[in-house]
């Protein structure tokens, strides 16, 4: 199995509809929100440091994940709209997708946040080094050692 991670810029792949449907069947509505926000032009992951990636196996879209500016912390980006098809979990797809986004983030900010919606997601993010913080707007944070210090002043505090 070869996983191909691709930057999604100008349009969403047509297979996103199937991914959103599958996520919705699991009770997750964030992929459908991604499609709605993209269609409305509200979020195209186009601001400085933002990025949207798709994970493909044999040309099939099997996962998606994005990085946006974190509104609560100027020195951070936020992992958003992250989803991997259930039959592809445990095969390294999510790990590969997350690492690609974190490598990208390193050039722009020194912290990344995420809101883990359940215990399984929390364990996944913690396996990548995210620390639980229990904030209202995000559940975990990761400091990116050696990352760009863009937006972080000496008196800024990240919790």
SS3 35: helix
Asked if pLDDT for residue 155 goes beyond 70, the answer is: no
Q: Where are the domains of the chain?
A: 3-143
Asked if pLDDT for residue 146 goes beyond 90, the answer is: no
Asked if pLDDT for residue 69 goes beyond 70, the answer is: yes
Q: Which CATH topology does 3-143 take?
A: Aminopeptidase (3.40.630)
Q: Among 34-38, 64-68, 86-90, 150-154, where is mean pLDDT lowest?
A: 150-154
Q: Which residue has the tokens 């601001």?
A: 47
Assign 60 a pLDDT band (cuts: 50, 70, 90).
very high
What is the reported pLDDT for 149? 57
């Amino acid at each position: 199995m070869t996983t191909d991670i691709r930057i999604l810029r100008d349009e969403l792949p047509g297979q996103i509809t199937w991914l959103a449907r599958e996520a919705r069947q699991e009770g997750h509505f964030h992929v459908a929100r991604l499609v709605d926000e993209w269609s409305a032009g509200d979020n195209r992951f186009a601001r400085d440091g933002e990025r949207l990636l798709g994970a493909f196996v044999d040309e099939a879209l099997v996962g998606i994940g994005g990085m946006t500016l974190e509104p609560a912390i100027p020195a951070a980006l936020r992992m958003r709209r992250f989803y991997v098809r259930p039959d592809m979990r445990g095969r390294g797809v999510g790990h590969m997708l997350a690492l690609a986004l974190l490598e990208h983030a390193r050039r722009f900010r020194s912290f990344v946040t995420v809101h883990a919606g359940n215990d399984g997601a929390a364990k996944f993010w913690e396996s990548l080094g995210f620390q639980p913080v229990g904030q209202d707007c995000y559940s975990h944070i990761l400091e990116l050692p050696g990352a760009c210090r863009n937006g972080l002043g000496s008196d800024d505090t990240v919790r």
